Chains A and B, each alone.
Chain A
Amino acid sequence: MSTFHDGSTSSHPYKEPSPLPSSIPKVDELGTTSAPLKSAAFFIGAYCKGYNEDFMLCKAENRDPAHCLTEGRKVTRCAQDLITKMRENCLKQFDEHWKCLEGNNQEYNRCRKPERALNNCMFEKLGLIKTIPGSPPGQKQIHEVENPIFTRVQK
């Protein structure tokens, strides 16, 4: 017997074993967890800007998942590419930063030291700069401030 369930409140996991049809090109999902993603977020934003904007414009046209599969694949491939490059060039700094985020409630302001090392490495090796859009002009951006007020409570 079948009954209606809200997918989000069901006690059974909502599993669907059938794969995508082979007519749709295969793309490996980015199996990265939240902390590494947060660590790499600004570099993904800088490196994949074009693909990301393309995808979001496409989504603004139509919210149907079938409508933007091509753009979505490009977004995922670009992110894959960036994470691979990051791991090739700045593995040590990357690992240090995301492990720090993992241990600090994923708050950027408690992990500035490893973040600076990562930012330097990313700029030297890949030429990517972390910029926060909309920061007040003429001031240092928040991740560059040397003596911030909000730091770790335990030094």
Chain B
Amino acid sequence: MPPAGGFENVKYKRNLPFRGPSGLVILGGVTAICAYGFYRIGLGNLEKRELQRENVWSRIHLVPLLLAEGDRDAYRRQLAADAREREIMKDVKDWEVGKSVYNDARYAPIDKIVIL
């Protein structure tokens, strides 16, 4: 016999709960986030280049100053070395003090020094 009030209705409707955004939406979202990230990287690369140039130019502006100071020091040391050489070689005839070892009028910086 059927229960009082009749049988329950047969459940025939599909039960598909919402399980998050679709694959297309996720793919689109990921693409958008990546695109924004690459855009920022591009901007960052441009900015990095500018920062490098700023750094390089700060150094370029200082080159004459540092070079001048170094030159004065090198010149002072060279004069002193020449005076020493003159003193040591005073007995040698036809000795030219401070003569370059190269047969060339161009300036060649000394790469070896004598430390007594």
Contacts and interface: CB of A to CB of B under 8 A. Distances in A.
Q: Do A and B bind each other?
A: yes
A33 interface: no
A150 B68 contact: no
A55 B112 contact: no
B58 A76 contact: no
B91 interface: no
A29 interface: yes
Q: Chain A interface mostly helix, strand, loop or mixed?
A: loop
Contacts of B48: 150
Contact of B113 (A7, A133, A143): A7
B107 A56 contact: no
Q: Bin the interface of chain B by size.
A: 35 or more
Contacts of B72: 20, 27, 29, 65, 69, 72-73
Interface of A: 2-7, 10, 12, 14, 16, 18-21, 27, 29-30, 37-38, 41-42, 44-45, 48, 51-52, 55-56, 59, 62-69, 71-73, 75-76, 79, 107-109, 132-136, 141-143, 145, 148-150
Given A66-B78, A72-B67, A76-B68, 16 more contacts: A5-B112, A5-B114, A6-B111, A12-B115, A14-B115, A16-B80, A20-B76, A30-B69, A37-B62, A52-B65, A59-B67, A75-B65, A108-B58, A109-B51, A134-B53, A142-B53
Interface of B: 40, 43-44, 47-48, 50-51, 53-55, 57-65, 67-72, 74-80, 83, 106-107, 109, 111-116
